[in-house]
Structure 1
Amino acid sequence: MQNAGIIVQLVVRKLALRCLFHDYFEEAKHFSTRIMLKPIDDPHVDLIATVAGPLNHKPEDKIIGNAQFRWQSDVQDPHTFIDLFVSSTEPILMMRSCAYHIKSGFGVFGIFPVLLRQRLFSEDYGVMGFRYGSPNLSVGATVIPFSHKHELPKNAWLVSKIGRLTAGVQYEPQFGSKDGARYKNLANWSCAIGYGLGSGSPLSPSFNFGLELAKNSEFIASFYQHVVVQRRGLLSVCRARIEDIADKNQFLQYHRVDDNESSNNIQDSTFQVAASWQANKNFLLKGKVGPLSSSIALAFKSWWKPSFTFSISAIRDRIKGETAVGFGFNVENIREASYQRADPNYVMLTPNKEHLAEGIHWKIGKRPVLQSDVKSGNFEGMPKELRPLDRIL
């Protein structure tokens, strides 16, 4: 809620892009561990604990530890919950709460830092908000109830979806001393438009294209492609993203529009390309390339109970001319199996690659290879991880 343009970014599927660019890419010369517990006896609660720090620990370096306890009233409804966040850094204790009524589409939420060493900013005293959500519309605002500056609102957004086209605008006052000046200042506004195809399920191929103008100072264009190939019950998943190119002769752009003169400085105008490939249920390979740095990550996941994931990433800093590695380790004790083999009667939308294996003849039967329940939107018989995200915009 403190990041500018966060609602508008979600419009152009920034959530999927963020996962592509950040998951399993550990910080250089650092490690991170994460433990997630979901008790079988009480499916309403979750507990997540993390520890992270530098590999070469020095007295001045800090090992950061966090823990989050979450309770939600309905296992199938993630929109109504209460969680407590405890950290060795600021804030020491923070509470978040959200109540959402699915039938009416109205909800209220709040973030309250309970323990802080110092309260320097208005949001340190808490942030509250309300929203309305439906499959084609999302509107809401946040306020700081204990602010002495009467900052109303802290931010507000409006997002609408028509078919495959989604557009949104967000207001976040940071410039201008009076209300009238703040509304007229374009630096307080962000907008985005996105075009996407696909159900949102990892089993369904999809793509999306987005344009974003943030704070009237940064123009961002991005393209995301998701491809799935079925191979005898196993899935090969490939994701790619291209974003942030600043050159008027190039298609995808990231450019500061408030500069008086054009700049060739790589810090002001840059691009990034990322891709991931999941060969099977155990191995995932990811990479991203840009003028400033390049990274590659390999993750291995076991499906025992509890399950664990080990990841290693290598980062090449082109500015410093250094290469470093980072490590990550996750442990999950979940209530139900996260991995299930595909139904033998289930066929993907995309053709399989069995015809490429010369001399081997598979008996596929009379099942059509280009139709499946994904096309009809029937996801009830699939694991939760393979279903689309919530239909509430």
Structure 2
Amino acid sequence: MGNLWSAAAEPPPLMVLVPPLFDFPPLAARTRMLESSYNMLFGKLALRCLFEDYFEEARHFSTRIMLKPIDDPHVDLIATVAGPLDNKPEEKIVGNAQFRWQSDVEDPHTFVDLFVSTDDPTLLMRSCAFYPKYGFGAFGIFPVLLKNRISSKDYGVMGLRYGSSNLSVGATLMPFALGDDVPKSAWLVSKMGRLTTGVQYEPPFGSKNEQKYKNLDNWSCAIGYGVGSGSPLSPSFNFGLELAKNSQFIASFYQHVVVQRRVKNPLEENEVVGITNYIDFGFELQTRVNDEKAPSSIHDSTFQVAASWQANKNFLVKGKVGPLSSSVALAFKSWWKPSFTFNVSATRDRIKGATAFGFGIRVDNIREGSYQRADPNFVMLTPTKEHLAEGIQWKVGKRPLLQSDVNSGNFDSMPRELRPFGKML
């Protein structure tokens, strides 16, 4: 009886809060099968999110509503409205909407969507079918309603691809193009351990050069070194070098850091002793390497640096610096159903010496997230014998997140928003 009473009186083990990432997986990952893998790897997707998300254009606003019905999670709708805050006659408010059907709720690689817009094209259909068992897929992008069809590219693009954990190869073509325009693009990307190499062929549309396969200006190549699984719970590191179109050299670096800080929140339970934070840092340098004179609007060399800090599931701070301007963004997110996000950004133009603001509002129930709980040894807290004894003992039916699962790549028991968004290259 004494053992039973003492066991019942034992306090619950200490725990650490693990918030979901603000936007994970990124929306661009849902349509990555429509793009060349060369354009998505080498840290390009992560850098795109770091440099662009929540940085609104100066003196502009944007709203985005992303909803899916409760009864049918296979379909969803994304509607956006964006435009200038002041009434400029040369600028107009643009609205569009995208209706999507996805075959598998857990797998975004097979889908059909319809895109309608007040701009051109008015109606666009995109479709992709991918079979993970065999690694083969086909996709197409077709403008259904277009104000003016001038060339063969206005009739759509089709593509074939093969993908595995270590190889991605594919090509796109325009079905109504002349023979000189086939293929429109082609890519080959291979991964060996932590090293990723890739090459892409993409000639300019309408080129009549018979030797365009031998023209180095139509080729791009890249090499990257990456560490990490792609899950927010796993720190990642990506470094890439690219020679684009034989004229531009691009060096980039991206790092995702997972840290813990102690927290004393009166609204939380007493056993909660810390919270996980996410810190991201990115750098990109672009410089011309040929002797051709660039247009006056394009600089021979430019760079940008950005960093973000997610303090909890509700607050995100971002900043980026470039040679011409600097920007700071603050986002607040409430995880209701649907979730609501408000963001404001300030941009300092160094040439004009002026500061302008932009605003954004987002409503989302496509990506859901909630706080998870982890053993205090998960990242950085000093282990003690008490932690080792009680760290894996938690309330019945609630297994905490463990560092060993993340290190081994076992994300099956974790929430979907904390898993890597794909096991495919």
TM-score computed with the length of structure 1 as normaliser: 0.88
* Residue range with higher mean Cα deviation, 383-392 or 104-113: 383-392
Change (3 A) 1:104 1:6: closer
Partners of 2:250 and 2:48 in 1: CA distance: 14
- The corresponding residue for 1:258 is 290
Shift of 1:111: 0.2
Note the 1:1-393 alignment, pairs <5 A. 7-148=37-178, 150-174=180-204, 177-179=208-210, 181-231=211-261, 232=273, 234-244=275-285, 254-259=286-291, 267-334=299-366, 338-345=368-375, 347-348=377-378, 350-352=379-381, 364-366=387-389, 367=391, 371-393=403-425
Following superposition, which runs of at least 4 residues in structure 1 exceed 6 angstroms of deviation? none
Q: Deviations over 1:77-115 (max 9, x none)?
A: 211100000000001000000011110000000000000
| Amino acid corresponding to residue 227 of structure 1 in structure 2 | V
Where relative contact order (Cα < 8 A, 6+ residues apart) is larger, the structure is: 2
Across the aligned residues of Structure 1 and Structure 2, the Cα RMSD in angstroms comes to 2.6
The aligned length equals: 371
Fraction of identical pairs, as percent: 68
Question: Is there any run of 5+ residues in structure 1 with no aligned partner, and where?
Answer: 245-253, 356-360
| 8 A contact 1:123–1:144 mirrored in 2 | yes
Asked which structure has the greater CA Rg, the reply is 2
| 8 A contact 2:114–2:124 mirrored in 1 | yes
Change (3 A) 1:56 1:101: same
Change (3 A) 1:266 1:84: closer
TM-score computed with the length of structure 2 as normaliser: 0.82
Partners of 1:85 and 1:19 in 2: CA distance: 22
| 8 A contact 2:234–2:258 mirrored in 1 | yes
Shift of 1:341: 2.0
| Amino acid corresponding to residue 131 of structure 2 in structure 1 | H
Shift of 1:143: 0.4
| 8 A contact 2:180–2:208 mirrored in 1 | no
Local SS of the residue matching 1:11: coil
Question: Is there any run of 5+ residues in structure 2 with no aligned partner, and where?
Answer: 1-30, 262-272, 393-400
| 8 A contact 2:142–2:157 mirrored in 1 | yes
Change (3 A) 1:289 1:362: farther
Shift of 1:225: 1.2
Local SS of the residue matching 1:191: strand
Q: Deviations over 1:230-281 (max 9, x none)?
A: 344522110001111xxxxxxxxx2211126999x98211111100000111
Shift of 1:67: 0.1
